[in-house]
Structure 1
């Protein structure tokens, strides 16, 4: 299944185009964002290589959904839903990031809710996971507000703590 275009009241989530490389790199190179992604801010060349792999691997092999997030026509974030790489976690996890210039507008919540809804309605998942650095209070609060619950803490190789959170699918009336 090719990565679909997703729309919310304010946002457009669409597959990246080659012309989005500078916005992608700028987002991941921003220390306020990159510190929470993966193992932290990488070298710029690594982020450019990662962007290239979106086309040569992720989209080419239809591995999972990855989107650029646009608000009023400009790139304001990144979103993914993918098989969880976390050991001992069976299922899919969401990943999202919002550029600091767009913080405080509820866009992160809108992205996360859209990813969860896509996971349940389109991918047929029974639950969705997220892994968040224990120090990332804003993301932990956001996920808690939209129904994620703490499952357990994971100790990283560097001694830091990552929280594993899960949100089950709650069927609506008639399901």
Structure 2
């Protein structure tokens, strides 16, 4: 059974998984116009956020994080970022484990909702988000890599 550990986003192992994620997105992105970003470690440090690694034994095979967004309404909004599983581990339900862990962490920080953005070509991700209670919303950011935006109330 895999385990999930908190890990600073700027450690060597976290950076390596994020590099795999970026390389995979860049290779498959329509028009090869993927714009990578480097996560700010402060944004993924509690209570502003958290970054986690999924390990199969000692091998890191996935990651994800949440970060708090500043909003003008009363919501306490956290954004899911960098959810990634190595291809050989997909289809085992581990993406759901990661997402559930991030939701639990967001709740522990007082979140009233989770949001995320993704690209329409990531069909398996869209299916995971829908099955996990996320619903499509209008864009909440100007991420050039996103074509779909989702929200899940946590109240």
TM-score normalised over the length of structure 1? 0.65
Distance of 1:79 and 1:149 partners within structure 2: 19
Q: Identify if the C-alpha distance between structure 1 residues 92 and 74 changes in structure 2 by more than 3 Å, giving closer, same or farther.
A: same
Match of 2:96 in 1: 109
Contact 2:136–2:148 under 8 Å retained in 1: yes
Greater radius of gyration (CA): 1
Secondary structure of the residue aligned to 1:30 is helix
Number of aligned positions between the proteins:
149
C-alpha deviation, 1:163, in angstroms: 1.4
- Unpaired runs of 5+ residues, structure 1, are 1-8, 171-175
Matches within 5 A, 1:66-105: 66-84=51-69, 91-95=77-81, 96-105=83-92
Change (3 A) 1:161 1:94: closer
1:116-155 paired onto structure 2 within 5 Å = 116-120=103-107, 122-153=108-139
- TM-score w.r.t. the length of structure 2 is 0.72
CA distance in 2 between counterparts of 1:74 and 1:149 reads: 33
Extract unaligned runs of 5+ from structure 2. Answer: none
